[in-house]
Amino acid sequence: MTVPSPAPAAAPARVPFDRKLARAAQTVTSRALGPYQTAIVRIGFSLTWLFFLVREFPHRHEMYGPDGPWSFELARRLIADNRAFTVLMWSDGRLWFEVVYGLAVVAAVLLLLGWHTRAVSVVFMVGALSLQNRSVFLGDGGDNVVHLVSIYLTLLRCGQVWSLDARRAAREAARGEEARGEEARGEEARRRVELAGPALWVVLGGFLVAATWFSPVTGEWWVYVLLWVLWLGQGLWWLVEQYAPGEPRVLLDVLANLAHNAALVVLMAEVCLIYATAGWYKIQGSRWQDGTALFYPLHLDYFTPWPALSELLASSGIMVMLLSYGTVIVQVAFPFTLFHRKVKNVLLVAMMLEHAGIALLLGLPAFSLAMIAADAVFLPTVFLVWLGARATRGRDRLLRRRPAAADLPPQRPARDGEPGGETGGEAAPRTLVG
Amino acid sequence: MSAHIDGSAERRPTGGILALSMPYQVVAAVALASLAVLAGLHLAMVFLHVAPSNTITKQHGQAVDDWIYPEFEQNWKLFAPNPLQQNVSVQVRAEVTGADGARRTTGWIDLTAQDVEDIRGNVFPSHTQQNQLRRAIDWYGNAHDDEGRPKGMRGRLSEEYMRRIVLTRIEGPGARADVGGTVERIQLRRTVTPVASPHWSTEKRSTQPSSRLMPWWEITDADRSRTETSR
């Protein structure tokens, strides 16, 4: 179960209330809960956005470019009114647009891999908000979820597992042990690895100064506060790690855990709100009541990429009725089933399958993938660990290397591999290593 | 790093608020309280934003809107309360000056049919095919009153946006349906075709399309500025 249940069950009978409170406070300050769930959300959303950006690459100018139908000038007039955040309003140059689109793609790839996750998640958010806010009348529900989750992701410690960060941390821990034997070599390697982080920080700092310079043009004040807090926090973290590894370091960890756990609760509640709204409003509709609702979308020209398939499904009145009622029941029930693990998991599978169906039938793959990624925050840890192990094994088999490859320390936990099997194919050249 | 406290053992955890000394604990506690309040407030605002109009939103709607817009805006009434039960399509005709200088008026060009053709058999339809025109005409309708007058700035923006979408599709060599000349004026027609009731239903719905003509719009350079350079 992913709901942050504060008190471990091992408690003896009758724990006094203040004791329970202290225990809960300790839980939310000492751990970033749901490491696997937040990692799968990170992977799911970066993958969705990456697919989308690659797919729309040929159409990027028409969608977000300065010369597209929603021209720079039109966007400028709207954004002067709604104050949305988009770095694309900094300049109407073609080059700037290409840079931003390119960075959005790169950020999606790096977030998927979990490379310097904390910093990259911010770039990912800036990229997603910039493109979407530039042309708000182009998006659909899928863009909307990506938009919201990209903001929450900046506060999540979503690289704890299945990330390059996790792999680096595991390697460093292993090297730390080795270093006791051969100090010099380990130290040297450590120094080299740590260059990327500070360099990234400096570059992003320059960007942040530019962003603040342009703040009268675009973006509400809190976006800049968030960006500055995240950036200063990263710098402070580095300083503290270097010079004050004692209590200040623990305090920073506590603050990061708190932000993570708060964002996780918000994210989970957000998913519940999505389903609750979708479900409760449907109950009021006559078509959902008479059981024909699904028939209509299957006959909308914009949502029937496979008319024969849609027609086939829509031809059975009973089928349409069962699916229509089933949809409403599942959507309305979902938030309440969170209190019951088994029922929750059944409904979760049902919803994911339904979204997979929507992807194909209604021609909304990006929306469906985003919703599945959002649902994934409720997947049980055992399943995710199993999935991770499978993905790692699959990758190792693909790359024909033994589970703990030569370049990795043997004590590396099984869970920590690259995100999912989908990168396995692309990473094929790395057989050289194994 | 995970420090579980067993009720009995008094060993000091290595992480979390219990691992800190007093002044640090105060900072952590303040952070905990403020983040809890912030998260709770945010969720309350999102809830009020997606909930139907109610006592609280009638009194404090502005506060909710200020919090939500623009970055946390959301709408999850997906196919609710009722799914869309009609196909909306857009046709355009244009007055064009040809290379010979002669003016002529084209027949109706169905822009939606272009989109539908592109979507058919497409596993991943582009937003330019599935959302651009569909949402633009929807927005245009919402941003105009029943007499077709624009509601404020957004109404005017939606008109310019429509003109620019149409031009990219009918003017110039890169256009989907090139009219072969300079477009001087355009007229749009919005056609609504109800989806027929299911065959098992006793309900009889008219499937007669109904059209609404929009006024002729003069095309100025502002509507096409820079579009040529990008194509």
In chain A, domain spans: 30-162+194-243, 274-379
B195 touches chain A (CB under 8 A): yes
Question: Would you call A277 and B131 a contact, using CB atoms and an 8 Å cutoff?
Answer: no
As a whole number of Å, the end-to-end CA separation of chain A is: 37
* pLDDT at residue A177, as a whole number: 78
As a whole number of Å, the end-to-end CA separation of chain B is: 56
A28 touches chain B (CB under 8 A): yes
In chain B, domain spans: 1-79, 86-230
ipTM above 0.90, yes or no: yes
Question: Would you call A254 and B15 a contact, using CB atoms and an 8 Å cutoff?
Answer: yes
B118-144 confidence digits (pLDDT tens): 999 999 999 999 999 999 999 999 999
Asked if residues A426 and A112 have their Cβ atoms less than 8 Å apart, the reply is no
pLDDT at B86 over 50: yes
* pLDDT at residue B58, as a whole number: 96
Q: A324 CA to chain B: closest CA distance, Å?
A: 11
* pLDDT at residue B10, as a whole number: 54
Mean pLDDT of chain A: 88
Please state whether the peptide bond connecting residue B81 to the residue before it is cis, i.e. omega within 30 degrees of 0.
yes
pLDDT at A29 over 90: yes
Question: Would you call A55 and B201 a contact, using CB atoms and an 8 Å cutoff?
Answer: no
Residue ranges of B 55-94 with Cβ closer than 8 A to chain A: 69-85, 87, 89
Confidence of residue A413 (pLDDT cuts 50, 70, 90): very low
* pLDDT at residue A185, as a whole number: 54
B126 touches chain A (CB under 8 A): yes
More confident residue, B12 or B187: B187
* pLDDT at residue A14, as a whole number: 79
More confident residue, A180 or B74: B74
Question: Looking at beta carbons, which residues of chain B come within 8 Å of A29?
Answer: 15-17, 28, 32
Name which of A144, A248, A294 is nearest B74 (Cβ-Cβ). A144
> Rounded to whole angstroms, how far apart are CA atoms B222 and B163?
10
Question: Would you call B195 and A299 a contact, using CB atoms and an 8 Å cutoff?
Answer: yes
